[in-house]
């Protein structure tokens, strides 16, 4: 598909989407709602990238957001919305109110698309972001704790080999990882085998960072949560604790003393020794490694080293 025909396909898709009866109340004008520049590089079309358009009404006011998949991965958006609904069902109200569902979704010539109510991204300006972080970080961390507490479920003995020890063994055997992480992985496996660590599953997002957190839209009526969390495509209802926590702690650059309190709270929720915070993190890393899809292995290793290093520093252990 050449660039011109792809551009026309996207314009036709947008026209079809904004004319749907269910969103007529938004008064969207397709001509005033261009796709965002640089959304993806059309020369290589990475399979995990999507096209995005800011939807504007007849007065030129932004009222919504259209996202659609690319021809390489036509199910990208459909999978995202399906996993978001699954996560929302797993959480009780009001915890699930932070999961943003589409106003409308569909397919156009195999491309999946969805339209969302307009929300605000977190500030890029350093000083505005610092003020936002003071307000948002405690609420995010409380939500993570409540998510772990309400979705915690035992991993039965029948599932331990396939869900925990098997993936950990693959991680320990991966020569792409530094020796220290592989040694920590073997230690986690040893504690699991001895019964010193009895892991639980929880709902995990698995890509929780600043870019996937949104704020309520300006001037929107009704009671709203303090934040919304998007991009649930990689989430798991049978995931591992501490991965979301440590990744967000790194991304928000939270102080070690504060992060240490958060880790201790998670340990109490998961009824585990503090050293098994690392066991959980490694289990989440190992689980992710089983299905990297379009995530380059060297980037996966780099991320894992960063997360393990941060947790080790928080716990006051070497490395």
- State the pLDDT at residue 50: 86
- pLDDT computed for residue 45 by the predictor: 54
Q: What is the pLDDT of residue 79?
A: 94
Closest CA to 69 of 92, 56, 50: 50
Q: How far apart are CA 85 and CA 102, in angstroms?
A: 10
In this structure, the strands spanning 153-154 and 104-108 are unpaired
Whether 40 has a pLDDT exceeding 60, the answer reads no
Closest CA to 106 of 72, 77, 63, 70: 77
Tell me what pLDDT residue 267 has.
Answer: 98
Write out the DSSP string of the chain.
Answer: --HHHHHHHHHHHHHHHHT-GGGGGG-B-GGG-PBPTTSS-TTT--TT--EEEEEEBTTS-EEEEEEE-BTTBTTHHHHHHHHHHHHHHHSPTTGGGGBPPPSEEEEETTEEEEEEE--EEPP-SHHHHHHHHHHHHHHHHHHHHHHHHHH-EE--HHHHIIIIIHHHHHHHT-TTS-HHHHHHHHHHHHHHHHTS---EEEEE-S--SGGGEEEPPTT--S---S-EE---TT-EEEE-TTHHHHHHHHHTT--HHHHHHHHHHHHHHHT--TTHHHHHHHHHHHHHHTT-TTS-HHHHHHHHHHHHHHHHHHHT---
pLDDT band at 319 (very low <50, low <70, confident <90, very high): very low
Q: What is the mean pLDDT of the chain?
A: 92
Rounded mean pLDDT of 155-165?
94
Would you say residue 149 has pLDDT above 90? yes
Per-residue model confidence as pLDDT tens digits over 269-288: 999 999 999 999 999 999 99
The pLDDT of 209-230, averaged and rounded, is 85
User: pLDDT band for position 14 (50/70/90)?
Assistant: very high
Whole-number pLDDT of residue 240 = 98
Burial category of 155 from C-beta neighbours within 10 Å (exposed 0-12, middle 13-18, buried 19 and up): middle
Query: What is the band of 3 on the pLDDT scale with cuts at 50, 70, 90?
Result: low
Mean pLDDT highest for which of 24-28, 37-41, 282-286?
282-286
CA dihedral in degrees (310, 316, 317, 319; nearest 10)? 40
Question: Could you tell me which residue, 294 or 110, shows the higher pLDDT?
Answer: 110
**Residue written as token pair 């936002």:** 132
Q: What is the pLDDT of residues 77-135, one digit of tens each?
A: 999 999 999 999 999 999 999 999 999 999 999 999 999 999 999 999 999 999 999 99
Average the pLDDT over 169-186 and give the result: 97
Q: Return the pLDDT at 318.
A: 58
Confidence of residue 47 (pLDDT cuts 50, 70, 90): low
Cα(311)–Cα(247) distance, integer angstroms: 10
């Amino acid at each position: 598909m050449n660039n011109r025909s792809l551009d026309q396909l996207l314009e036709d898709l947008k026209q079809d989407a904004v004319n749907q009866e269910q969103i007529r109340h938004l008064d969207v004008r397709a001509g005033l709602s261009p796709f965002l520049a640089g959304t993806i590089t059309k020369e290589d079309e990475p399979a995990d990238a999507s096209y995005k358009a800011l939807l504007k009404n007849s007065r030129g006011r932004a009222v919504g957001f259209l996202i659609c998949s690319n021809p390489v991965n036509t199910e990208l958006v459909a999978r995202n919305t399906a996993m978001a609904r699954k996560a929302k069902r797993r959480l009780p109200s009001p915890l699930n109110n932070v999961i943003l569902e589409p106003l409308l979704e569909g397919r156009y010539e195999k491309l999946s698309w969805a339209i969302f109510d307009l929300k605000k991204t977190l500030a890029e300006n350093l000083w505005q972001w610092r003020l936002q972080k003071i307000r948002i970080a405690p609420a995010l961390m409380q939500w993570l704790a409540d998510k772990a507490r309400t979705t915690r479920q035992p991993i039965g003995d029948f599932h331990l080999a396939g869900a925990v020890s098997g993936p950990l063994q693959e991680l320990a055997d991966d020569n792409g990882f530094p020796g220290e992480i592989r040694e920590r992985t073997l230690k986690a496996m040893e504690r699991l085998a001895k019964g010193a660590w009895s892991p639980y599953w929880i709902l995990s997002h698995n890509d929780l960072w600043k870019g996937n957190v949104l704020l309520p839209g300006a001037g929107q009526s009704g009671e709203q949560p303090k934040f919304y969390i998007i991009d649930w495509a990689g989430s798991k209802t049978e995931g591992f604790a501490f991965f979301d926590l440590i990744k967000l702690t790194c991304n928000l650059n939270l102080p070690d003393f504060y992060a240490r309190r958060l880790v201790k709270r998670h340990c109490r929720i998961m009824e585990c020794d503090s050293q098994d915070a690392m066991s959980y993190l490694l289990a989440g890393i190992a689980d992710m490694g089983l299905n990297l899809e379009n995530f380059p292995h060297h980037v996966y290793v780099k991320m894992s080293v960063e997360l393990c290093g941060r947790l080790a520093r928080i716990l006051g252990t070497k490395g």
